[in-house]
């Protein structure tokens, strides 16, 4: 195998790794937002507090996805 073939395989593995790393945060966001909407429907009086907490949680979950992207670039 020559160098270009190895580089292409390495690039493809990085893309697969990031895809797998983004799956967890994607599932987490779906659960987080779904449960927040469910809580707002059950208790509309705490909707503001739930929304603020949800945005904080969304920020933390997105950090995981970005960490997976950065790790793909660092460890290639």
Half-sphere exposure of 6 (CA within 13 A, CB side): 4
Q: How far apart (Å, rounded) are the C-alpha atoms in residues 68 and 57?
A: 17
Please indicate, yes or no, if residue 2 is contained in any of the structural domains: no
φ/ψ bin of 49: left (φ > 0), alpha (ψ from -120 to 50), beta (otherwise)? alpha
pLDDT digits (tens, 9 = 90+) for 1-56: 555 665 566 666 777 777 777 888 889 999 999 999 999 999 999 999 999 999 99
Q: How far apart (Å, rounded) are the C-alpha atoms in residues 13 and 50?
A: 39
Q: Cα-atom radius of gyration of the chain, to the nearest Å?
A: 18
**Structural domains of the chain, count:** 1
In this predicted structure, what is the pLDDT of residue 51? 95
Structural domain including 54 reads: 16-75
pLDDT digits (tens, 9 = 90+) for 58-74: 999 889 888 877 877 77
Please indicate, yes or no, if residue 26 is contained in any of the structural domains: yes
- Candidates 71, 63, 52; CA nearest to 29 is 63
Q: pTM of the entire structure?
A: 0.72
């Amino acid at each position: 195998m020559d160098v270009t073939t190895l580089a292409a395989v390495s690039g493809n593995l990085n893309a697969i790794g990031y895809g797998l790393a983004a799956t967890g945060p994607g599932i987490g966001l779906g659960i987080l937002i779904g449960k927040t909407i469910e809580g707002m429907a059950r208790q509309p009086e705490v909707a503001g507090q739930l929304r603020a907490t949800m945005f904080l949680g969304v920020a933390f979950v997105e950090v995981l996805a970005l960490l997976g992207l950065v790790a793909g670039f660092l460890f290639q």
